[in-house]
Amino acid sequence: MKNSIEKVAWGSFEGEEAHLWRLVNANGMELDITDFGGRLVRALVPDREGHFDNVTLGWETLDEYVGEHGGTYYGALVGRYGNRIGKGRFTLDGVEHVLELNNEPNGIPCALHGGLRGFSLRMWRCVEEIHTDDMVGIVLEIDSPDGEGGYPGNVTVRATLILDNRNAWHVGWRAETDRATPLSFTDHAYWNLDGIDAGSTVMGHLLYVNADQFTPYGPDMIPTGELRDVAGTPFDFRTTHAVGEHHGDDCAELKYGMGYDINWALRRDAGDELSLAAILTSPATGRQLEVWTTEPGLQIYDGYYLPVRNSGIALETQHFPDSPNKPMFPNTILHPGQVLYSTTEFRFKTV
């Protein structure tokens, strides 16, 4: 079969018409993406027998995304800053910036995923559709004005979302600013490779993480600045094992996060643009997801607070949480005249 792209109306948000793009590759794999929050709404992926199921959590209608489920970040493009910034504050060039507080892990406020109206709750504009023999996709763009969420600088962001005939989903980021500002984008899809209609959790999924270290935290879930070896901890996934295997271990971070909700410092492959971050496998269906990225970190959240507990797992490629307050972490400050580029690929296979 030939690949295809179809655009359909999908309701409206604050007076703007929303759309859904249906991307289908030559193998029949399908991704549905909306310009509301740049969200991945559905991902139809084959299992080892060739049967297609939806493997990403989402809702059927736009009203569900903007209503009671808006805070779940299902499938969203997240910015300006993915993950948490401690106390919702950072100092840049001698100026303290106060951000919107929208998360309170263990009763301690912080800024999360760009604030009260981050990119996940805004309309993006489609500036290009991509359709070649090998791939289909769209390019979404958004402007973030100076002061939005408390962040400095006028920022323009482009996200290129492509499905190719190798069953890989590409998420590419490009950003520019007119004033120094911290930026760290991520994709917030939740995956369940059993298929979301199977009624199973992700606790039995097998996980490999290409990391020797993680960033420990206290009850506020803000990294201390330390890079700690995974050896001898529940965060050692260098040998593949089930997501839920160590959930009951006596570990402070697992207690604070009610399971896995933590950043790994990824091992980089010298000379390669993309490095392997993680491999997630469903023993039941044979579906396997490889995550490859240019980013230095991977936040894994196993979905304890989802409407159906542990029904999906987020594999969020990113810079480290609270980096604007942690000079020892990889830099997240973009300056005028610079261009931010970031790429992550989600490669689907069967075993």
318 C-beta neighbours (distance < 10 Å), count: 24
Task: Answer yes or no: is pLDDT of 153 > 70.
Answer: yes
Q: pLDDT tens digit string along 45-86?
A: 999 999 999 999 999 999 999 877 667 899 999 999 999 999
Domains in the chain, CATH or no CATH each: 4-350 (2.70.98.10)
Q: How many residues does the chain have?
A: 351
Task: Answer yes or no: is pLDDT of 15 > 90.
Answer: yes
The whole-number pLDDT of residue 70 equals 67
Task: Answer yes or no: is pLDDT of 266 > 70.
Answer: yes
Question: How far apart are the C-alpha atoms of 173 and 81, rounded to whole Å?
Answer: 13
* Banded model confidence at residue 108, pLDDT cuts 50, 70, 90: very high
User: Which one of the listed residues 97, 188, 205, 319 is annotated catalytic?
Assistant: 188
The whole-number pLDDT of residue 269 equals 76
Give the mean model confidence (pLDDT) for residues 91-98. 97
Task: Say if residue 107 is exposed, middle or buried (CB neighbours under 10 Å; 0-12, 13-18, 19+).
Answer: exposed
* Banded model confidence at residue 272, pLDDT cuts 50, 70, 90: confident
- What tokens appear for 230 in the block? 């995974």
Distances (CA, A) of 199 to 192, 194, 248, 275, 284: 10, 9, 22, 32, 12
Q: Could you say which DSSP state residue 81 is in?
A: B
Residue with tokens 């100076």: 146
* Banded model confidence at residue 277, pLDDT cuts 50, 70, 90: very high
Q: pLDDT tens digit string along 193-231?
A: 999 999 999 999 999 999 999 999 999 999 999 999 999
pTM to 2 decimals?
0.97
Percentage of the chain beyond pLDDT 70 is: 99
**Which residues, in sequence order, are bridge partners of residue 214?**
228, 264
129 is known as an active-site residue? no
Question: How far apart are the C-alpha atoms of 180 and 184, rounded to whole Å?
Answer: 13
Q: pLDDT tens digit string along 224-246?
A: 999 999 999 999 999 999 999 99
Question: How far apart are the C-alpha atoms of 279 and 319, rounded to whole Å?
Answer: 19
335 is known as an active-site residue? no
User: What is the SS3 assignment for 155?
Assistant: strand
Task: Answer yes or no: is pLDDT of 268 > 90.
Answer: no
The whole-number pLDDT of residue 105 equals 97
Question: What does pLDDT average to over the chain?
Answer: 96
**Which residues, in sequence order, are bridge partners of residue 295?**
none
User: Which one of the listed residues 148, 295, 316, 345 is annotated catalytic?
Assistant: 316
Task: Answer yes or no: is pLDDT of 119 > 80.
Answer: yes
For 283-311, letters b (16+ CB in 10 Å) and e give: eebebbbbbbbbbbbbbbbbbeebeeebb
The whole-number pLDDT of residue 251 equals 97
The whole-number pLDDT of residue 130 equals 98
8 A C-beta contact, residue 273 and residue 289: no
